[in-house]
Amino acid sequence: MSQSKGAVVNHVHRDDLGAKLGMWVFLFTEVLLFGGMFLVYAVYRFQFPDLFKLAALELNTGLGTFNTIVLLTSSLTMVLAIVAIQKNKKNLSLFYLAATIGFALVFMVVKYFEWSAKFSHGIYPGSEELLNRQNGEILFFGLYFVMTGLHAFHVIIGVIIIAFLMVFVYKNKIVHDNYVKLENGGLYWHLVDLIWIFLFPLFYLIH
């Protein structure tokens, strides 16, 4: 009996290790994706430093700062959700996961208003207003929409993942002694936050 139980424990540990390794490999590919974009940004910013600074003046630094605080807070609530499940506090974990989703939705609403303001001024990829500007400004806003748009897509994916994690916690598929799925979801969410921490100064603070 003890041998059978030990075999099950070893199997679970191997599954946990495989799941964590798989998540780290996935996160590495995401880092490569955004790392390539950051490299492209660096090259063009070196070529058009003054025009990049000029274009950045049209972004709302206040909203960007607010969104940064929102995402940092969401990382905290994600950590607290994991700590809560470790302490076998299921309802508290669900609360913090819901709070994380709430902060993510706030981020997306703010980003919607930011993008809407740019669209209302005719500043969006392929617009006549933007194409009439100098190359540096066109490149800046092109990178802005692509990189922040891709990040927003990752936020949406994160919300979906966390929603599934809430279901797993509710159905006791994630418990105090088996919470690898929750940890992996947390790792993904921290990556989403980390990417924004790089995007924020690159686009909003260069002036």
**Per-residue pLDDT reduced to its tens digit, 149-190:** 999 999 999 999 999 999 999 999 999 988 999 999 999 999
pLDDT, tens digit, 9 for 90 and up, residues 83-104: 999 999 999 999 999 999 999 9
Q: What pLDDT is recorded for position 17?
A: 72
What gap in Å lies between CA 134 and CA 136, rounded to an integer? Answer: 6
CATH topology of domain 2-204: Four Helix Bundle (Hemerythrin (Met), subunit A) (1.20.120)
- The radius of gyration of the chain's CA atoms, rounded to the nearest angstrom, is 21
What gap in Å lies between CA 55 and CA 203, rounded to an integer? Answer: 9
Hey, what amino acid is at 194? L
Question: Exposed, middle or buried: residue 140 (CB in 10 Å: 0-12, 13-18, 19+)?
Answer: buried
* Confidence (pTM): 0.88
Structure token digits, residue 148: 């922040």
